């Protein structure tokens, strides 16, 4: 019986070899795929076992990790005043992943970034707990809070973006409605699930970052770009005569294009360009757009950032003029209607470029990344996207915007501060109340803040809503918070 | 290895009493008990170090206590060593240290998973009872039984006399949970294989496995000539007569039928494999393997189409990530992948995430915290341990001993293969315990009895032959049948 016994011994050896081969397959070859599998809770627990870095802005703690007494989740993510800052911080959920800066800067915050490699090594040898790096945002907490409160307190849907025109740093980006990232960071997956489902089913899309992701028709605020294009051609200047008619016939189609409320642009048959801007005359800018042509309009829009990929570091939806098939559509596009679509971020960039002598700065939210001990790892340099218009053109438009501010409603005006602005009231379909826009920068002579505010569907005013009624007060409050430190 | 059957010691040993003590020290086979003691001490050191690592990572108890645990562990196995020294002095010196290593590492892993489970239970506000203390108790009980086996079974051949008793008791033990009311034999996780008496619960299949092995070994040895010579010839194969084969088939079918009724797929697979291999060893005919595997394949297909719980297992095996019942396996795979080659270190992983981590999935816990290297080491220890059983089978002189030792060694390795293959996704998962490693009293005690028998047979294989034995020149009966003339047609 020894021969079969030896064969059985060989078979036993083969069985162990088979087990070892399979174990090698699981633990080596397939290991990475399994580790990164969405159902693998160990990877998540790993993220919760070391303190994740802080998100700060101007000394204010926006997101931090607090120790818990749970074995599985040793740290919990906490957001101070979550809804106001949610568009910037994003969320950190073990069920639904990450959003915002939590996602874009995950490697720094979790401590796995290459820039933290030395730090990790030091901590390992000194026996310290591993810890994530911190990020500091460019946000001005007072402006951000004001922007959110202005929208949320009046219960409107909309968005506000404020930029520093000189370096492109984002001072505020607020949405309404917003969400509370604290609920998505709950240690209970049931609560996360409940919060997520509520947000997903909410009719107002609170999870959408309107500031960077929602494309709105810009309405009259687009006249800044039409004017910039016209001035760039050299055929127009501050005082160029344009039509003052209350209504014009669109070329080659049987349709009229009227001014707002059917008013004429002043008392004369023609009006200077600045007055057309100040009074936001549709007829004048429609004809100007028709005169300078589609190509020039597109070129200028592109130089302001239309159609370009932006990451702040979150991605920004591309703004676009849309297809223009005929002269009538070009007329309508010239006043920001038809297929023109902009994000609040892009509109703030237009205002910022005009404020910055025509130079477009790339918007950015990251001030710097910091090691766990708060030493600076990396500082974001301001980056120039290009010269949209010449400084002369920029100054001319600025002067027009100062006039426009005088024609806008007075609500929320700030005494002692000269604002340059443009309002917009964007129709977006029959029977729907218009979106109200307001883009501005201040102080007009020495701009430190450029802002764009949009309030959807008439805000709390309804069909009579205009940009100056619903959006201007919001933006002005944000400017005041920035210039005068809140209030 | 022809030398094993014609061991020169057999003839050269002068007329001593055979205990190896005192007489003719120069020519007697060394007992190697000193080697065993050194290896046991080494196992104790490894286990103590492993416990220290767990404590360094989890800070669960004062460091001084660990030393006591290590010493207690050594003392426990030291007593077992003394029992072997007294009652089986020529036993294989590797078997006990290997078992001690597995049992000790199992205790460390169970203790480590206890800590993880306790934290989780505390979080959920549930009561929690650690498994490590009862595992220590069963270790001691198992070692006592091992000693008792050595005391009462002075010669393994006496077991052959009780073969039918063993077979009957084994079958009854196997069938007991299925026929007993649920109050005593509760249905746990879809399988009815436990008997619960007050605080004690045990799995009779563990004992039945050994009893049936004894029966099969004895039965096959007594009938092996008939198996190979008598009966019809069909397709070039000599089929045994039905009346010779019937008892095997009945026992076989009954054991399988019972485990299918109890929904214990793992034990079913185990019995099938053991019987098949024992028939092969007894008859030396590979055709039995072919017939058996064909039967097995047919049985698998039938079971798959007949039983929902089999389909569920196969689905969980093929799609662990998406199948509802694949949760355990996917968690085990995630744990193993996280462990990678080197492992997370003892106490550094999260093995308690896997359900039944300290029972069925203890190898996944080991693979997570000790890595591929640790798992490979464990599997090689099993191979070494069972290979020592086969080594004893090769060397022992009687056919019954050969078949029993070979069966016992193969049974343990097959059990490791089935559960390790299930946990690592190689084959569909079936619930079997990992010998000596997993938490579970009946498995531990049963395997100590198994090892006791292996020690007894290895002792017989290495013990110098008694001079009073007649016919030293005659070749062993194992080789005899080769001289038989073919049956005339």
3-state secondary structure chain B: CHHHCCCHHHHHCCCCCCCCCCCCCCCCCCCCHHHHHHHHHHHHHHHHHHHHHHHHHHCCCCHHHHHHHHHHHHHHHHHHHHHHHHHCCCCCCCHHHHHHHHHHHHHHHHHHHHHHHHHHHHHHCCCCCCCHHHHHHHHHHHHHHHHHHHHHCCCHHHHHHHHHHHHHHHHHHHHHHHHCCCCCCCCECCECCCEEECCEEECHHHHHHHHHHHHHHHHHHHHHHHHHHCCCEECCEECCCHHHHHHHHHHHHHHHHHHHHCCCHHHHHHHHHHHHHHHHHHHCCCHHHHHHHHHHHHHHHHHHHHCHHHHHHHHHHHCCCCCHHHHHHHHHHHHHHHHCCCCCCCCCCCHHHCCCCCCCCHHHHHHHHHHHHHHHHHHHHHHHHHHHHHHHHHHCCCHHHHHHHHHHHHHHHHHHHHHHHHHCCCCCCCCCCCCCCCCCHHHHHHHHHHHHHHHHHHHHHHCCCCCCCCCCCCCCHHHHHHHCCCCCC
Which pLDDT score, from 0 to 100, does residue B472 have?
Answer: 54
pLDDT at residue A311 greater than cutoff 50: yes
A443 cis-preceded (ω within 30 degrees of 0): yes
CB contact under 8 A, B390 and A5: yes
Q: What percent of chain B has pLDDT over 70?
A: 83
For A391-410, how does the pLDDT look when each residue is reduced to its tens digit (9 = 90+)? Answer: 999 999 999 999 999 887 77
Reported ipTM: the value is 0.87
> Do the Cβ atoms of B375 and A9 come within 8 Å?
no
- Does position A301 have pLDDT exceeding 90, yes or no? yes
Chain B residue numbers with beta carbons less than 8 Å from the beta carbon of A33 are: 337
CB contact under 8 A, B284 and A9: no
Residue found under tokens 């939806």: A317
Q: How far apart are CA A266 and CA A124, in angstroms?
A: 74
Longest CA pairwise span in chain A (Å): 120
Which pLDDT score is estimated for B436? 96
A 10 A CB-CB count for B53 gives 17
Q: Can you give the pLDDT at residue B241?
A: 66
The bridge status of strand A158-163 relative to strand A170-176 is antiparallel
Interface list for B 325-344 with A (CB within 8 A): 330-331, 333-341
Residue A464 pLDDT level (bands cut at 50, 70, 90): confident
- Please check the confidence at residue A20 and state whether its pLDDT lies above 60: yes
pLDDT of residue B126: 82
Distances in Å between the Cα of A392 and the Cα atoms of A163, A227, A421, A440 are 22, 13, 18, 18
Nearest CB to A27; choose among B281, B284, B367: B367
Which residue among the candidates A65, A176, A186, A220 is catalytic per the annotation? A220
> Based on C-alpha coordinates, what's the Rg of chain B?
23
More confident residue, B241 or A361: A361
pLDDT in tens, B292-322: 788 788 888 888 888 888 888 889 999 988 8
What pLDDT, in 10s, does the model give residues A42-78? Answer: 877 777 778 889 999 998 999 998 888 776 678 889 9
Confidence of residue B476 (pLDDT cuts 50, 70, 90): low
Does residue B60 register a pLDDT over 70?
no
Q: What is the pTM of this model?
A: 0.66
Rounded mean pLDDT of A98-103?
90
pLDDT band at B16 (very low <50, low <70, confident <90, very high): very low
Sign of CA dihedral B102, B427, B423, B176: negative
CA distance A314 to A320: 19
Q: What is the pLDDT of residues B326-335, one digit of tens each?
A: 888 999 999 9
pLDDT at B232: 62
**Considering chain B, what is the average pLDDT of its residues?**
83
Q: Residues 57..116 of B with a Cβ closer than 8 Å to A: which?
A: 116
A213 catalytically annotated: no
3-class secondary-structure state, position A414: coil
In contact, A185 and A76? CB cutoff 8 Å: yes
Q: What is the pLDDT of residues B140-190, one digit of tens each?
A: 999 999 999 999 999 999 999 998 899 899 888 888 887 777 777 777 766
User: Does A71 contact chain B (CB < 8 Å)?
Assistant: yes
- Residue B122 confidence (pLDDT) above 50: yes
Other residues' Cβ atoms within 10 Å of the Cβ of residue B164: 12
Q: Å from B387 to nearest chain A CA?
A: 7
Q: Is the pLDDT of residue B468 over 60?
A: no
Q: What is the pLDDT of residue A71?
A: 64
């Amino acid at each position: 019986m020894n021969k079969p016994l030896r064969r059985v011994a060989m078979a036993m050896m083969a069985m162990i070899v088979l087990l070892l081969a399979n174990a090698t397959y699981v633990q080596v070859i397939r290991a990475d795929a399994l580790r990164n599998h969405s159902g693998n809770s160990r990877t998540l627990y790993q993220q919760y076992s070391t303190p994740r870095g802080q998100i700060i802005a101007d000394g204010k703690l926006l997101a931090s990790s607090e120790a818990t007494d749970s074995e599985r989740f040793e740290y919990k993510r906490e957001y101070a005043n979550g809804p106001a800052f949610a568009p910037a911080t994003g969320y950190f959920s073990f069920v639904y992943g990450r959003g915002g800066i939590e996602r874009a800067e995950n490697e720094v915050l979790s401590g796995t970034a290459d820039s933290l490699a030395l730090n990790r090594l030091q901590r390992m040898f000194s026996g310290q707990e591993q810890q994530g790096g911190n990020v500091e945002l460019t946000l001005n907490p007072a402006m951000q809070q004001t922007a959110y409160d202005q929208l949320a307190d009046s219960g409107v849907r909309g968005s506000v973006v404020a930029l520093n025109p000189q370096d492109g740093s984002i001072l505020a980006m607020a949405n309404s409605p917003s969400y509370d990232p604290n609920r998505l960071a709950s240690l209970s997956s049931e609560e996360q699930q409940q919060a997520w489902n509520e947000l997903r089913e909410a009719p107002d899309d609170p999870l959408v970052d309107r500031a960077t992701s929602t494309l709105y028709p810009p309405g009259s605020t687009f006249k800044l770009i039409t004017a910039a294009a016209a001035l760039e051609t050299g055929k127009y200047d501050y005082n160029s005569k344009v039509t003052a008619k209350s209504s014009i016939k669109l070329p080659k189609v049987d349709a009229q294009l009227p001014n707002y409320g059917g008013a004429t642009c002043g008392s004369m048959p023609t009006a200077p360009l600045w007055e057309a801007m100040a009074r936001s005359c549709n007829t004048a800018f429609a004809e100007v757009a028709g005169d300078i042509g589609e190509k020039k309009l597109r070129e200028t829009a592109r130089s302001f950032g239309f159609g370009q990929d932006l990451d702040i570091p979150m991605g920004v939806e591309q703004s676009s003029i849309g297809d223009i098939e005929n002269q009538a559509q070009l007329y309508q596009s010239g006043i920001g209607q038809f297929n023109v679509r902009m994000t609040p971020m892009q509109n703030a960039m237009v205002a910022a470029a005009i404020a910055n002598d025509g130079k477009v700065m790339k918007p950015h939210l990251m001030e710097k990344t910091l090691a766990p001990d708060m030493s600076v790892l990396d500082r974001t340099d301001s980056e120039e996207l290009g010269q949209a218009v010449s400084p002369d053109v920029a100054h001319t438009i600025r002067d027009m915007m100062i006039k426009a501010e005088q024609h806008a409603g007075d609500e929320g005006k700030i005494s002692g501060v000269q604002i340059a602005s443009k309002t917009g009231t964007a129709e977006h379909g029959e029977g729907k109340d218009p979106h109200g826009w307001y883009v501005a920068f201040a102080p007009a002579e020495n701009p430190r803040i450029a802002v764009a505010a949009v309030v959807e569907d008439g805000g709390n005013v309804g069909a009579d809503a205009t940009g100056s009624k619903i959006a201007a007060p919001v933006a002005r409050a944000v400017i005041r918070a920035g210039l005068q430190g809140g209030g | 290895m022809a030398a094993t059957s014609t061991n020169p010691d057999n003839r050269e040993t002068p007329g001593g009493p055979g205990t190896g003590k005192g007489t003719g020290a120069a020519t007697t086979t060394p007992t190697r008990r000193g080697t065993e003691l050194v290896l046991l001490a080494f196992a104790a050191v490894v286990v103590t170090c492993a416990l220290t690592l767990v404590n360094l990572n989890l800070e669960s108890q004062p460091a001084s206590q660990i030393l006591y645990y290590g010493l207690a562990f050594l003392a426990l196995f030291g007593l077992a060593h003394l029992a072997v020294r007294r009652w089986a002095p020529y036993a294989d010196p590797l078997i006990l240290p290997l078992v001690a290593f597995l049992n000790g590492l199992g205790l460390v892993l169970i203790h480590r998973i206890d800590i993880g489970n306790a934290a989780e239970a505390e979080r959920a506000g549930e009561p929690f009872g650690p498994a490590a203390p009862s595992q220590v108790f069963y270790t001691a009980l198992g070692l006592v039984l091992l000693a008792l086996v050595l005391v009462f079974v002075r010669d393994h051949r006496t077991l052959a006399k009780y073969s039918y008793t063993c077979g009957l008791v084994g079958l009854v033990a196997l069938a007991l949970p299925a026929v007993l009311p649920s109050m005593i034999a509760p249905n746990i996780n879809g399988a009815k294989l436990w008997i619960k008496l007050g605080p004690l619960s045990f799995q009779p299949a563990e004992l039945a496995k050994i009893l049936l092995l004894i029966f099969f070994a004895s039965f096959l040895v007594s009938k092996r000539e008939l198996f190979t010579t008598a009966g019809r010839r069909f397709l070039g194969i000599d089929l045994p007569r039905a009346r010779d084969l019937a008892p095997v088939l009945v026992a076989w079918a009954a054991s399988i039928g019972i485990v299918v009724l109890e929904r214990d797929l793992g034990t079913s697979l185990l019995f099938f494999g053991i019987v098949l291999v024992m028939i092969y060893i007894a008859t030396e005919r590979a055709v039995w393997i072919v017939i058996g595997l064909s039967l097995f394949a047919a049985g698998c297909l039938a079971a798959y189409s007949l039983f929902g719980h089999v389909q569920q297992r196969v689905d969980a095996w093929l799609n662990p990530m998406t199948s509802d019942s694949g949760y355990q396996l996917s968690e085990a795979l995630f744990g193993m992948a996280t462990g990678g080659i080197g492992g997370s270190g003892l106490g550094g992983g999260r093995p308690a995430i896997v359900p039944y981590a300290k029972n069925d999935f203890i190898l996944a816990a080991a693979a997570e915290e000790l890595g591929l290297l640790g798992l490979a080491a464990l599997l090689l220890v099993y191979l070494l341990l069972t290979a020592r059983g086969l080594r004893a089978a090769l060397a022992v002189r009687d056919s019954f001993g050969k078949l029993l030792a070979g069966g016992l060694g193969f049974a343990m390795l097959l059990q490791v293969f089935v559960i390790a293959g299930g946990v690592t996704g190689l084959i569909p998962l079936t619930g079997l315990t990992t010998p000596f490693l997993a938490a579970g009293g009946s498995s531990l005690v049963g395997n100590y009895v198994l090892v006791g028998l292996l020690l007894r047979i290895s002792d017989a294989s290495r013990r110098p032959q008694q001079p009073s034995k007649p016919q030293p020149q005659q070749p062993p009966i194992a080789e005899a049948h080769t001289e038989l003339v073919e049956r005339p047609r």
